[in-house]
Structures are given as C-alpha cells and as structure tokens.
Structure 1
Amino acid sequence: MSAFVFRTSFAAILLSSAPPLWAQEPTGDAPAAIPAPVGGAERYTPADFTRFAPRTALDMVEKVPGFLIVTGTNGGDRGLGQATENVLINGERIASKTTDARTALSRITATQVAYIDIVDGASLNVPGLTGQVANVVLVAGAGASDGLKTTIRWQPEWRPRIEDNWLNGEISTTGKLDGTQVTLSLKNEANRSGHWGPERRFDGNGNLLFIRDEFGAYDGDRPRLSAALARTTANGNKWNVNLGGQLQNLREHVSGTSVQPAFGRVSEDFRFTEDEYNFDIGGDYELGLGKGRLKLISLYRFEHSPFVDSFIVDREVGGRSGERFSQTADESESILRGEYSWRTAGGTDWQIALEGAYNTLDVDAEFAKLQPDGSFLPVAFGGERTKVEEKRSEASLTWGRALAPNLTAQLNLAAEYSELTSSGPGGLTRSFIRPKGKFALAWKVGPKTTINWFVQRRVDQLNFFDFASSVDVANGQGNGGNGQLVPPIVNRSELEFVQDMGRWGHASVAFAYGYAQDLVDQIPLSPTTEGRGNLPGAHLYRVTTKGTLLLDPLGWKGARINADVTWRRNRVRDPLTDQWRDQSFGQDYVADLSLRHDIPGSNIAWGGGYFDERFSPGLRLDAIEKEYTVGPFVTAFVEHKNIAGFTVKLSYRNLAGMKDGFDRSVFVDRRDGPIAFSESRQRKFGQYFQLTVTGTL
C-alpha cells in the first residue's frame, strides 16, 4: 500500500508600502490627517471596503483588486534575511518567523486601519521587495483609548466518514496597556481529513493482480499560544517582543484490504504519529542614530519533534509481518541581526545589514522489524544518529532612489558565509562564501501602467533532514543521508506588467526565467543506494497572471471575479539517464478562480471558487510516482455580514467531486529497465460543509 502524501500549493502574491520606515509611525491619540499618497501609490481607505463590512485588516487587504496575500514566514527559511512578504504594517516588515502576513492582519480590527497604500517594492527602502506591496497604515494612537479589542475566527468542518472538526480557529486580544501595545492569541490550525477508494496493482506486463480497498484518515491539532508587546517611547525609539509556544499532535491512519492470489485475504495498516512541541522568543529595538535609524533584531527558536511510522501486514496465508521507523529530531535556531538605514538630502535610501545565525539539527532514528512475539527488533540501517550544525553570517548593502519622476531603482549587494558540519553518512565540515544580490526597477509608464523588472542571484538553503538517512516503511523505500550536499543557487530575472483598469479592476502578468545550479533532487549515492543530492544546471520558466474583474460596468452591481493562474516548467538533467526532464514533483500549473457578489442594499454575499493544479512526476532511481487530482476543486458559499455582530459564511466544498490520485511504477532495478509492478489509485473524499465565523468584541 502506498503511503498517502498530501500537497497543497498556494499561488504567490502581490501587495504594497510607503516611504522611509519611520515616516509612518503614528503619534498622539487623535487620528492624524491622512497624508497624500507618495510616489504614485494607490490609496484605499475604509470607505472603499464598506460594502464588504470587514471585521479585520485581513478582510480589507483581501478585497484590494488585483492580488492575493503572500503566505509564509519570511520565506520559511533559516535566518531572517531580506523581506519576502509583500505586506508592511506602518511601513515596516513583519520581522517574525512564526507570524505571517495573513495572521498579523487577522489580529488587527478594521476600525484600526487608516488606509492601505499599494506601491512598487523597488521604491521602498526595504530590501527584498519587488512588484506591488501593500502598506497597511493604522489610525494614529489606535488602541490607546478604545480599550481592548478581541478578534474571533472559528472554522468548523463536517466531512463524510471523517471525524467532525470543531477546533479550528483563533481568538486574539489586542490593545494598549499603559502605552504598550499588547496582543495575546490562542490559535489552533486543526484539520480532520481523509479519503477512500480502490487501488489496483498490475504486474510488469500490465495485467491486473488484485484490487485493494483503502481508507485514510489524517488528523492534526496545532494549538499555539503567543504574545506580542510593542511600544514607542517618548524619544521615538521602538521596541517589540514576541514569544510563543505550540504543541503539534498529528495522527495518520491508512488501512487496506485485498484478496491476493498467493496470500488470500490481506489486511494492511499504516500509522503515523507525531507529538511535537516548539517555542520561540524574539524581539527588536529601533532607535535614532546619527542621520538614520538602527534596528537590532534577535530570535531563538527550538523544536522537539518525535514521530513513529509503522506498517503491518496480516496475510491469510503467510502470517504477519511489519516494520517501524521512528525518529526524534531536535532543531534550534539563534539569530542576531542589525540594520542601519538612512536617507540622504538628495533622496537616496541606504541600508547596511549584518546577520549572524547558528542552526542545529540532532536526529536519533531507529528502524525495526516485527517479531513473532509482537515486539519490534531494531535493524542497523546506517542512519541511527545524525547531527548537523551551521554557522552562517551575512552582510548586505542596499541602495535605492528615484532615477526619474516615474522610475525608481533598488540595488542590493550581499554575501554570506556558511560553515556546515554534519556527522551523518559521509559527514564532514565545509565552508562556503557565496555572493548574492538583486537589482530592481519600477517604471510608471503611465498613470495606470507600471512595469516592474528585477534580476537576482539567490542562495537557497538546504533541508537539514537530507543529511540524515530515512526509511519509508509503507512503500518499502529508503533514502541514504548525504553529507556532500551544497546549497542551490538560482540566477533569475522577472518582468511584470501591471495595469490599473479603473472601474473594470486590475490585472498583471509576469514572465520569469531562472538558471539554477545545484538544485536538490533524488540521485544515486552508490550502485545500490539513493538519496537527496545536487543536480547539474537547470532551467526554470514561469508565467503568472493575476487580476480582478469588476462587473459593475456590465450592470452586475457588487460582483467581481478574481483570477490567479501560473504556468511553470523546471527542466533538469536526469542523474540516471542524463536526459532533460521536469523536476520531481515540480508544479506544472495552478489555476485559482473565484466569483463574489455582494448584493447591494443587503448584508448578503454569495459566490464560488474553482481550483486546479498539476505536478510533474516524482522520480526515484527505481520508481516513478505521480500525484494528481481527478477533476477541479469547486466551492460555493453564502455569507451574512451581520448576525449578532459577526460575519457568518457557509461553504459547500468539492461540488465537482474531486478525487486524490496516485500512480506508481516500480522497476526491477533502475527505472531505465523493466517494470516489476505498478499501482494506480483514486480516493474520493466527497462533498462537505465548512462554516466560518469572524467578528470582534
């Protein structure tokens, strides 16, 4: 039985911001006069969102025509580095690895938002930002006199044949206590999902051997308690403190039954459990120094994550067999970063940044086989203990200015030093010095047309778990650890055209190309083993189009269509055949379309969505695996914007009956030889209801 792998991808996103970071800090308790937009920014005020009856800043930003919101926490990588999300709050990036833009905005009430500016990232003194960026500016003194505000989001789901999900949601309270902004939050990203259906196994000639009936259930609870403190002192200095702790309890169970010619009735049982805890504490302090501002940032994060995989087979003829793989991983990250920014009299923005980080991964693993007495006996597999350490430092210089009234530029030059030590298979100590950087232009061709362009050399980070050996007990596969891995480098360029269509909406299209060195994929480690390793040079292509079409000019008042479509190809050299192919499990395309109609003169809105994506096959040296969906994911919803002061949205999901598909061909030896057997499955998960309740107290 093939283990279930679930992938969800979210399309990347655009948003915007304002001039120097310190220029947007509100002072005093009375709302200040709203300044005029700077540098051709598009300005959205609360009045522009009245018909949507927004409860939070997130509700408002989501309704800005032409883009979605970037998710993730500074790229999800180790270290802080440059900004990667396209949302700023009061002109400042969200310098946290545990709070992404969407989460931060959901904790700000709509009444606290003064306005939202959409500007070009290249015009900002925030390294890393390109394209459109949203700067959410809060009302001056927000929270100082109106007490504590509590925001609630509750999102239960009811699925067929699956346990009901009542525990997904968040409650957060924010306000000022004695001049200090305080935010407390309890959030649980709970999931209850599953699917069921037949899996067919064929021999090497394509003849059906048997059909296995399967059922999979996947449950998770991730309660996180966090606190954030922020204060601006009388002399204009600012400090922030963030801390949080989380438990993650994950459970997966896939069972299958079949009648096989040689074994009679066969029952198979795969189980996965993980009980993780993690915590983090971080903060920053910003002060005036000389002609600029100095910001000091620190962070410490720790994660303890033990998991156990087991796969047991009961045969009517042949008895019971089974395997178990368990692993306990301790990860830690320590970061210190300093940024000094200033603006010259001539209008040039400068920033110097230094960052140091120390990262560790300590893995203890065990592979064991089931014994006749029901116990598991450990078996040596060569990856029982792996420790990875990285000492990394980075220095960068950023320059930005207007080259003409309608043309702004930003140049970032940087270099990083990394010392990487691994004690697993093939482990050794190595050091790297890698230059990187980015040059971006934003050209306002006309009042409604903008062209954004950048060229970048990016140094990606390695997954430390690729240094450790692992065993996939459900599929009978394994990966050897690879101590020879080097970080990938991507040299890329992107050209984006952005068009404001006035009363018709907003649209953009972007073309990107990248040349990647040392991408990580499956490679041979020896004549008989394989694992994660580096590939020769690869070519990356992407076309993305996004837009919002407002239907009011057609007479359909209050209706809009959002579209986000991406096509990509990542072409790599196959390490086995030396032929060009798509990168394993690379995204081929994603199409995300939605319709929303806010009925004028009422509190009712309705609409629907269409989502579809495809991935290229995943290639091991002895197998080809393809994950796919059968049909698109279609939803419909109805929303009431004021039920006892709450917005209530009921969604009916998977109307088109999408199924999860997985095909696998396993070869006798390598995949350039004969096929030993193949499997094909399609599991359905039915239609289901989701309720979303949001509001403030």
Structure 2
Amino acid sequence: MFNVNHALFWLSLSVICATNIPFNVKAAEHKDEVYSTTFFDQYSPLTALDMVNQLPGFTLIETDDDIRGFATGAGNVLIDGRRPTTKSGGINETLSRISAAQVAYIEILRGASGSSDAAGQAVVANVVKLKQGAAKHWKLAFEKTGNGELSPSTEWVLSNHIKGWDSAFKFNAISQKSPRDANISTYGPTMELLSYQQETRPSTLNDIFISGDSKKQFNQHTFSINARVGWSQFVTDNERLSYTQPQQNQIINRYQNDRDSQFYTGELGLEWQKVLAPHWQWRILNINNVQNWFVNSFSFDKPPNEDIKNATRLRFDEHKSEHVLRNVFSRTGGEQGMLKQQEYGLEVAFSNLESWLALERQDLLTPQLTNKRYSQAKEIRGEAFANLNWQWQKLVLDTGIAAEYSQLNVTGDNSDEQSLFFFKPSLALAYNSDKNRQYRISLRRSVGQLDFSDFAASADLVNDREISGNPRLRPETKTKATLAFDQRFAEKGAFSIALYYEWRQHVLEHIILPSGDYALGNAGKAEVKGITSSLNLPLHQWVKGAQIAFQANFIDSTFIDPVTNRNRQLTELTTPDITVDFRQDINQHHIFWGISYQDYQRRKEFYVNEYSHFHTYGRWHVYVEGIVFNDLKIRVDISNIGDDETKWQRKLYHPSRHDALQQLQVTQRHRDPTVNISFSQTF
C-alpha cells in the first residue's frame, strides 16, 4: 500500500526543486531536443547505451515481455526510427553493440509517435546512426565480493562495413559469484520458537552470449538481420544449520540443497523494407526464438551422527519456442491535412512449450516415491491493427485499434482448449504549450502475455513449495488511463510526473483448482493506481559540473482475495521505488564521480497457503571513473554500502490462508558490499 507521507514528501521535493529553477538560464545548444555527439563528449561514452543513459530526464524502458504482441510491449528507444527485430536481450543488448563513435545524434520524440514501434510510449529516444564508420571497443571487469572471491567479466564489440553490410558483433561473458547469508527463526501458532537456522547460500552465475546485427540497402529495399545465441548457468549451494535456540553451538540438523540451472537460447530476427510510393513503405518482420531450460536439484536432511533422511531429487526440463511474422504498411509525411502518419498491418505468431517435471522422494521409513508430470501448450495467434497520428497546431492525437484472435491448446497430465478474442483500442492526446512543456492524457487497453511455464507444474525444494499446472489459464487484460506533465529547462534540466489508474480483468493469482490442487489461475478483477515522477536538476550554479536526479514511483492496488474473500494488494507489486543520484563531471581532468541511494522497498506475495512480506532496506552506491593514457577508461564501483539487507516474513497456513496460522518464519538476509573495477577502451 501507499505510504502517503513518504509519497507526498518525495513528490513535494521534486515539485519544489523543479518550480524554483531559474528558467532564464542559458538555453541548451540542441534544438527540438536533438542531442549531438558534442553533448555527450563530457561523459566519454563507450556505447550508444551509455549515451541514452545520460539523456536528461530520460529513463530507458525495456521491451515489456508481459504484454502480447511484438509492438504492444515496445520499449521507448528506436534505432534509425525503428525498433530492432529482437526480443532476446532487449534494447540494452542492441544499444551496447553500437559504438558511441557510430552515433550521429539522438533525438527525443514527445507525444504520440504514430508508430507501433513505440506504441504506448509518451517519450521516445531515437538513436540515429552514421551511415559509415567502423569501431571497436572492449571492456574487462573484476568484482570482489565480501568473502574475497573475484568475479571476472568481459565484453568485446566489433562494428564495421563488410561488403556493403553495416554490421556489429558482440561477445560477452561473466562468472559472477554472489554469496548470501541469512538467519531464519521459525515460530509456532502461539509465537513459541520452534527452531533457529543459519543459512549460507553461495551462488555462481555463468553467462556466455554472442550477438550481432547486419543491415544493407538494395536500391529501394533494405534488409536487416539480428541474431543472438547464448548459454547461462546458475548454481547454488544452500546449507541451513538448525539449532534449538540462537547463540547455541549444538547443531540438531543440517539441511542441504544443491541446484544447477542451465539455460540455452537462440534467436534470429529478419526485417525487409521497401519504398512503395512517395511516403509509403512496406515492412515484413520475422522473429524466431528457441529456449531450453534444465534444472537439477537435490536436497536432504542430516541430523548429527545419523544417516541422510528426507532426500528429494528434482529434474525439470522445459523447451520453448516462438515464431512471429509481422506485415506493416505505413505512410509518413505528404499532404494529408491533420493526418500525419498512418500504419496498417497484420501479425501472426505461433508459440509452443513442452515441460517435464520429475520428483523423487525417499526417507528412512518409506520406499522411493516418484512423481512425474508432463505438459505441452500451443498457441496460434493472429492480430490486425491500425494506428493513425493527427496533428493540429500544438495538439498531437494518436489513435490505434487492434483485434486479436487466438487458439490455445494444452495437453499432457491436464488438457484443455480455448478460443480467445481481444479488442485493443488506444487513444493518446498531447498538448505542447511550448517546446519545453507538454501535457498528456491517454487511455489504452492491452492484453498480457501468458507465461507458458504456468501451464506446467513446478516445485521449489528449498521453500517446500509445489505448484500444479493449470490448463485453463487465459491472458490478463488491462485498461490504463494516464495523466502526465513534462517540463524541460536549461541544458540538462527535466521534470516529469504521471498519474495512472488501471482496471484489470482475469488477473493472475494463486487459486485452488476444482481438483483441489494449488495453481496460478485467473482470479477476477483488480484496480491499480500509481504515481511516477522524475527530476533531473543541474547544479552548475552551485557546484561546477554537478547534477542530481530523483526518481520516485508509488503503486497501490485493490483486489478481492479468492482464498480469504478479503480485500488485499496484488501479489509481487514493489513499492516504493525511490532513487537519488548525484554526479559531478570534472571535465578538465577527465574525472567523473557519483553517489546514489536506493530507498527501502516492500513486496508482498500470496500463495494459497502462504503469505510473504519482503522488506529491502536502503543502500548506497559510489563510483568514480577517469580517462588515462590512450583513452583508457577506468571505473571503480562500490555497491551495497551499509550492506544489502532484506527481511522476509513468511506466514504458513493449513490448509489455506482462510484457516489458522501454523507457522511464522522470519528470515534476515544479508549481502556484503562489493567492489568492482573495470577497464574499457574504444579504438
């Protein structure tokens, strides 16, 4: 829920700071918010991603994989006016392959864009690349954790023209160690202490990814390719030592869980463009993505001087694929009166998932018990859409409409078949009172993307949690109304605030199925309200080369719990989300430093027989970077200053949250500060 005083304090601070800025300061050198490369020279950027992150008052929004459709979940960054034909890795991956030396300029597009490539985004950054140019850059980093272990990572990017193809390739690898400790106290129904545990959980993340893109012009045709392949492994070794009381040395039980999760992915994106007539263009996009995920987990209990008991082995396999074909006809410019842009198109997609889960249990008194489950889900989806952009003096109107039909088929241990139809209109109106101030109002209906993994059963051995698959899942729908204000001042000053209200239907929450199993399911209606605000404040008049940025997001919801029939918050909403960043650029010495603070966050999770509350405490981050000989950039980051602490309260009920409390677990998690040093260079 909202902490009203907290929200009012941060929003008032932002408004006071923004409204007390002297607006007669020297105007920015860029006009109509076109940022040339000279603007970014002071930051010594390595890639286009570094440049986008330095845009005043701009926050990069990744592609939203929770929304159906290639365009509907679009992020707020375009490259040469188009969204890259990729979903794997997102826009961050693509921007990191573009060297800063290959960027001509970045322009900010405000109000409705009229293009589905940035559907629903009020502020969009368009990165315009140079037509020619080659560049290379590399980065090598080492992170030291609290226990002294080193985690190396590296990144290499090559951009060049190869036989007329404008190409870029990237290789990145990491082996990141992240130890975590915790104290766990378990209480009974009357709050008597049942057990006390000390947990150690070292983990290692190993990643290797190779990606690339290439583009070539053939007369009036343009063809581009995006590709990415990779492997990721996450290994944990969880040990919990149990005692009767804190501060005691006598161990009464040792719990061990070893988990090895491996993920393979491959993606190929193709795009063909052709100019049909003056101002008209035809585009065909195709994205193909394949993912394989494997999990092996083994856990057991072992009291002192006794044999292993309660041993459980888990094997989980998941194969997922998605294929999207999109056909778009668009018109921009020309004599159309108030109608400035038109776009019409069709999209078809096929998704498939196969999942296997095997659980083997054995203790001293019972023989081995095996539970195997299999599920397959397939969906064929088609969508027709149209987007129109209208402009009249200082008003910009964006209208859109889409109709979607899909067939969903689930087989395996549970089976079902559904036919679904969705109507998705959108309307956005922007008023630009001057070139620095804008007011926006929008109303948009969207459909959530189903996670096909939820059709299949899953298990969490560490937290003793099993979730059944649900073949009757359908996508969540959302109608969102937004009222926003945006103000620019000076060269780096920006203030924005947005209030929104959402009406959600078929929300996905954990429910009791007719069979009596516990699973994720469609649980009815909910309403969500929130506030987002940001302020980028230049401090040059007081501290040379300094600026400070505030971001504050608050969210609240109303929902009738299907288990308890009481009003509660939706699961996994994190609020508040508040950050403060201070940065100073000492350009004459090529030194830059900064400090940031992430305020506390709260998150709630609801299962049928469980309620969890997470409270993450505030933490600090400090960095300093500089340019030395041969344009070598060195950066040092210190994260989690003051330690990374999270308190987790977990309430367990039987048989459901509608019944009596059985146990309360209070977990205090802890991570030590980390130090990261990186070296990078463009050549």
Q: Same fold (TM over 0.5)?
A: yes
Task: Tell me which moved more, 312-321 or 427-436.
Answer: 312-321
Report the counterpart of residue 490 of structure 2 in structure 1: 502
Offset, 1:222? 1.9
Query: Secondary structure of 2:482's match?
Result: strand
2:114 and 2:387 in contact (8 A); partners too: no
Offset, 1:218? 2.0
Distance of aligned partners of 1:108 and 1:227 in 2 relative to their CA distance in 1, 3 Å threshold: closer
> 1:626-661: CA deviations, max 9, x gaps?
2222x2120111111334322211011111223132
Distance of aligned partners of 1:169 and 1:540 in 2 relative to their CA distance in 1, 3 Å threshold: farther
Distance 2:569 2:135 in 1: 50
Distance 2:73 2:509 in 1: 27
Offset, 1:162? 6.3
Distance of aligned partners of 1:136 and 1:521 in 2 relative to their CA distance in 1, 3 Å threshold: same
Distance 2:612 2:375 in 1: 28
Q: Residue 669 in 1 paired to residue 655 in 2?
A: yes
Report the counterpart of residue 404 of structure 2 in structure 1: 416
Distance of aligned partners of 1:241 and 1:367 in 2 relative to their CA distance in 1, 3 Å threshold: same
Report the counterpart of residue 21 of structure 1 in structure 2: none
Distance 1:643 1:610 in 2: 32
User: Which of these residues, 310, 314, 319, is aligned with residue 321 of structure 1?
Assistant: 310
2:98 and 2:168 in contact (8 A); partners too: no
Offset, 1:489? 0.6
1:424 and 1:481 in contact (8 A); partners too: no
Offset, 1:183? 1.3
Report the counterpart of residue 422 of structure 2 in structure 1: 434
Distance 2:65 2:140 in 1: 27
Query: Secondary structure of 1:423's match?
Result: strand
Distance 1:333 1:322 in 2: 37
Distance 1:236 1:612 in 2: 52
Q: Residue 245 in 1 paired to residue 229 in 2?
A: yes
Query: Secondary structure of 2:203's match?
Result: strand
User: Which of these residues, 41, 51, 76, is aligned with residue 32 of structure 2?
Assistant: 41
Counterparts of 1:108-507 in structure 2 under 5 Å? Answer: 108-126=98-116, 128-139=119-130, 141-143=131-133, 148-161=134-147, 163-166=149-152, 168-188=153-173, 190-233=175-218, 235-260=219-244, 265-291=252-278, 292-316=280-304, 319=307, 320-343=309-332, 344-346=334-336, 347-370=339-362, 377-380=368-371, 384-402=373-391, 404-503=392-491, 505-507=493-495
- Structure 1: give runs of 5+ residues left out of the alignment: 1-35
Distance of aligned partners of 1:321 and 1:94 in 2 relative to their CA distance in 1, 3 Å threshold: same
Distance 2:579 2:163 in 1: 45
Distance 2:491 2:82 in 1: 30
Distance 1:519 1:193 in 2: 34
Offset, 1:66? 0.7
Quote the sequence identity (%). 22
Distance 2:389 2:679 in 1: 43
Distance 2:636 2:629 in 1: 13
Distance of aligned partners of 1:558 and 1:578 in 2 relative to their CA distance in 1, 3 Å threshold: same
Report the counterpart of residue 81 of structure 2 in structure 1: 91
2:362 and 2:369 in contact (8 A); partners too: no
Query: Secondary structure of 2:55's match?
Result: coil
Distance 2:639 2:390 in 1: 48
Offset, 1:341? 0.5
Q: Residue 637 in 1 paired to residue 623 in 2?
A: yes
Distance of aligned partners of 1:342 and 1:500 in 2 relative to their CA distance in 1, 3 Å threshold: same
Distance 2:347 2:320 in 1: 20
Distance of aligned partners of 1:667 and 1:99 in 2 relative to their CA distance in 1, 3 Å threshold: closer
Distance of aligned partners of 1:171 and 1:423 in 2 relative to their CA distance in 1, 3 Å threshold: same
User: What is the TM-score when the length of structure 1 is the normalising length?
Assistant: 0.88
Distance 1:43 1:308 in 2: 51
Distance 1:440 1:376 in 2: 63
Distance of aligned partners of 1:290 and 1:501 in 2 relative to their CA distance in 1, 3 Å threshold: closer
1:649 and 1:693 in contact (8 A); partners too: yes
Question: Which residue identity is paired with 2:390?
Answer: R
Query: Secondary structure of 1:102's match?
Result: helix
Query: Secondary structure of 2:228's match?
Result: strand
1:252 and 1:272 in contact (8 A); partners too: yes
1:264 and 1:317 in contact (8 A); partners too: no
Offset, 1:56? 2.1
Distance of aligned partners of 1:689 and 1:425 in 2 relative to their CA distance in 1, 3 Å threshold: same
Distance 1:627 1:131 in 2: 32
Q: What stretches of structure 1 move > 6 A for 4+ residues in a row? A: none
> 1:475-499: CA deviations, max 9, x gaps?
2221121111111110111111000
Query: Secondary structure of 2:589's match?
Result: coil
Distance 1:674 1:545 in 2: 41
Distance 1:627 1:293 in 2: 50
1:115 and 1:138 in contact (8 A); partners too: yes
**Aligned-pair Cα RMSD in Å:** 2.3
Distance of aligned partners of 1:317 and 1:534 in 2 relative to their CA distance in 1, 3 Å threshold: farther
Distance of aligned partners of 1:636 and 1:175 in 2 relative to their CA distance in 1, 3 Å threshold: same
> 1:104-151: CA deviations, max 9, x gaps?
222222222222111214044345143111111122x222xxxx4212
Report the counterpart of residue 519 of structure 2 in structure 1: 531
Query: Secondary structure of 1:75's match?
Result: coil
- Structure 2: give runs of 5+ residues left out of the alignment: 1-28
1:471 and 1:478 in contact (8 A); partners too: yes
Question: Which residue identity is paired with 1:520?
Answer: L
2:49 and 2:95 in contact (8 A); partners too: yes
2:507 and 2:524 in contact (8 A); partners too: yes
Query: Secondary structure of 2:544's match?
Result: coil
Q: Residue 605 in 1 paired to residue 592 in 2?
A: yes
Work out the number of aligned pairs and report it: 645
Distance 2:589 2:543 in 1: 15
1:80 and 1:95 in contact (8 A); partners too: no
> 1:598-653: CA deviations, max 9, x gaps?
12421111111111352332122212112222x21201111113343222110111
User: What is the TM-score when the length of structure 2 is the normalising length?
Assistant: 0.90
